[in-house]
Amino acid sequence: MNVRAAKNGVLITVYVKPSSLNDRVYLLSDEVIVETKAPPSNNKANFSVIKLLSNALSVPPASISLSRGATDRVKTLFIPCLSLAEANERLSLCLTKK
């Protein structure tokens, strides 16, 4: 998975599919994929990605920040309240493999 330790938290790199039929988070070849119904305009998809990941990781949405990729499909998000082990465990439990 694309999860790595950072100072005081973890960085998670995801591939985003905006304007999808479903809202879901899953693994594909060890890559975290986030499908969202939200369109990419006006940051709607970014906000949806943060909400979906916060639900998947059981952390408050306000604790997740977009670190890189605001206008790209590949995004890196910073989560300060998790260790690398906690992030990997929570992702493994909640993500389905496609």
pLDDT in tens, 13-63: 999 999 999 999 988 888 899 999 999 999 999 999 999 999 989 999 999
Q: What is the pTM of this model?
A: 0.90
User: DSSP state, 78?
Assistant: E
Query: What structural domains does the chain harbor?
Result: 3-82 (3.30.1200.10)
Cα dist. 40→36, 66, 73 in Å? 9, 15, 9
Per-residue pLDDT, 1: 61
Asked if 31 contacts 50 with a C-beta cutoff of 8 angstroms, the reply is no
